[in-house]
Amino acid sequence: MGVLGETQIPVYTGNSLSSHGNNSQSDDGNSLSACGEGWGGVNQGTMKGQFGVRKIPIQFLRKGHLIFDRRKKLHKVNKIVQRHYKGQIIIINLEKSYNSIITTPTHLILSRRIKPLKVRFNSDKRLREKTRKRAKELRKNLTHTERLLWNALRNRNLGVKFRRQHPVGPYIADFYSPEIALVIEIDGDSHSIPGRRDKDIIKDKFLKDLDIDVIRIFDSEIIDNLDGVIWRIDSIIKKRGERVKRLIRWCGARKLRTGDRIISGEKLESVRISGIENMFADEEVYDIDVISSDSIITEACVIHAL
């Protein structure tokens, strides 16, 4: 295992953690909670711009430095293992990111297991543009019940981010949370018509083939019992969050492929791999032994500790 020395590691340098709600040591005396308990697949925010956090190359880490694990808790570095490596290295490029992961083939990276897609997304550019344009129009003209529910879902009120009138393949979801792969559809009276109901069944099948769960709610429920609807959605979000957490696993770098998803470092978001390169290296690589943790957040991803 091992990563190259230029790999950037966010390090806590000693300023107050009080803004994160906890500045005391844990029972084992080795970890500190920086951003709350556990992640469970839900984005808890980013360390970028936090007071007392800076990035340094892994080759300059020293024993006693405080670094973050995948739950955004602080742990002390126990030791740095440096060794000379001569052989294949893997360069993993990520979508919408200037950061790349450069590692030995056997190093473990936190990834998200995704179900193989049984249905292709739109390959027709004109159809994609038409769907996006339609979604934009729908966002400007939400129905009364859509506005009521959107006020409850927006700004992470239920712990996860939702997007309203969001394109998914050839369809537009009323509300979609990419973090937990959940769609919420509001059905009016027209959805009870047999022909429309058949279309809804086809749409639901498309989404479920992408491992996206679908909740359908009648608009009358929102008007008559909004609190009950929110409670129901909140319960499903928690169950879905636990399921997504079980999809998170360690994967050797050599097993990753273009299109797979890894957990991106600082924001702990699921990010798609845009490309993988192989090359020969003859240089130093580094591993970190961390007290009371098996993971380390880097600038680009989450790697396994010794």
Q: Are strands 182-187 and 213-218 parallel, antiparallel or unpaired?
A: parallel
Residue 180: how many CA atoms within 13 Å on its side-chain side? 30
Supply φ then ψ for residue 133, to 5 degrees.
-65, -40
The tokens describing 249, both together, are 């696993």
**pLDDT attached to residue 38:** 32
Contact 70, 262 (CB under 8 A): no
pLDDT digit string (tens) for the chain, length 306 residues: 788 888 899 998 865 443 333 433 444 444 443 433 333 333 333 454 455 888 999 999 999 999 998 888 899 999 999 999 999 999 999 987 778 899 999 999 998 765 544 444 555 778 888 888 999 999 999 999 999 999 999 998 998 889 999 998 889 999 999 878 899 999 887 776 777 888 899 999 888 877 789 999 999 999 999 999 999 999 999 888 777 666 788 899 999 988 888 888 777 777 889 999 999 999 999 999 998 889 999 988 999 998
| Residue indicated by tokens 């090359």 | 279
| Nearest-angstrom CA–CA distance, 154 and 212 | 20
User: Domains of the chain (ranges plus CATH)?
Assistant: 3-114+247-304 (2.170.16.10), 125-246 (3.40.960.10)
**pLDDT attached to residue 246:** 67
Contact 11, 55 (CB under 8 A): yes
Between CA 89 and CA 96, with CA 91 as vertex, the angle to 5 degrees is 170
